[in-house]
């Protein structure tokens, strides 16, 4: 006894009009849900403008700023940070941390010395990244939660020498990656530990 068997291929139903638009909208919403928190709380891009960090950074270089590390660790001397300008928090600056909370900062003829308040230990900073010097003289005591920041181009940088220390809550994050130009791409660009005793 035989049975007739007829094969009928499965066919997808005709796509509904507007389903492509619906998929695009869903994809866009999903991308926003994923990307927005990353941009707001973890990392964001920053484009360097000006010459205050020459020769470490140049105008037009594209950086990624790590905004989460400082939620778990304190900023350290030598870190390259993005901060909100104390006199106008809508503006963002890139600088290097030179002085830490509760330290004394002494600048004599452009040479930077940090003094530990508890031990009176003096540390003269070795700063080989500074090519354009300025013969400043300054003495400043930092309070708790205050950081002294300077540009690597000391001759052309507006920094803590002019507008004072930066409060901890004005520090946005640390420059963690230089993406552009490709030839200068680097992880932790400009990183240098300047703590050397002379």
Q: Around Cβ 134, how many Cβ atoms within 10 Å? A: 15
pLDDT score at 75: 95
Domains identified in the chain, total number: 1
Separation between Cα atoms, residue 146 and residue 165, nearest integer Å: 6
Give the pLDDT confidence score for residue 188 in this predicted structure: 81
**Is the separation of the CB atoms in 170 and 163 below 8 Å?**
no
- Residue 19 domain-assigned (yes or no): no
119 falls within a domain? yes
Residue 69 lies inside a defined structural domain of this protein: yes
Q: Residue 106's beta-bridge partner residues? A: 113, 139
Q: Using alpha carbons, select from 127, 142, 131, 132 the residue that is nearest to residue 193.
A: 127
Q: What is the CATH number of the domain that holds 87?
A: 2.10.109.10
**Structural domain includes residue 14:** no
2 pLDDT band, cuts 50/70/90, is very low
- Read off the pLDDT of residues 148-190 as tens digits, 9 standing for 90 and up: 999 999 999 999 999 999 999 999 999 988 888 888 888 888 8
Q: For residue 29, tell me if it sits in a domain.
A: no
Residue 11 counted as domain residue: no
pLDDT of residue 114 exceeding 90? yes
Domain span including residue 50: 45-187
pLDDT digits (tens, 9 = 90+) for 7-63: 445 555 555 555 677 767 766 655 555 444 444 445 578 889 999 999 999 999 999
Residue at 12 is within a domain:
no
Mean pLDDT, the chain, rounded, equals 83
pTM for this prediction: 0.75
User: What local confidence, expressed as pLDDT, does residue 7 receive?
Assistant: 47
Instruction: Tell me whether residue 169 is in a domain.
Output: yes
């Amino acid at each position: 006894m035989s049975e007739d068997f007829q094969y009928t291929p499965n066919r997808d139903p005709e796509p509904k009009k507007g389903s492509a638009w619906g998929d695009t909208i869903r994809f866009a919403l999903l991308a926003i849900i994923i990307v927005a928190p990353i941009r707001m709380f973890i990392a964001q891009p920053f484009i360097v403008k000006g010459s205050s960090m020459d020769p470490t950074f140049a105008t037009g270089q594209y950086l990624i700023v790590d905004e989460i590390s400082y939620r778990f660790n304190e900023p350290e001397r030598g870190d390259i940070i993005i901060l909100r300008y104390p006199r106008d928090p809508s503006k963002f600056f890139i600088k290097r941390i030179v002085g830490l909370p509760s330290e004394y900062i002494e600048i004599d003829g452009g040479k930077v010395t940090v003094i530990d308040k508890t031990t009176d230990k003096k540390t003269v900073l070795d700063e080989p990244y500074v090519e354009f010097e300025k013969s400043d003289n300054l003495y400043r005591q930092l309070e708790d939660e205050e950081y002294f920041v300077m540009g690597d181009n000391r001759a052309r940088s507006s920094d803590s020498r002019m507008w004072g220390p930066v409060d901890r809550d004005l520090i946005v994050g640390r420059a963690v990656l230089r993406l552009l130009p490709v030839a200068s791409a680097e992880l932790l660009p400009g990183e240098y530990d300047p703590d050397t005793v002379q």
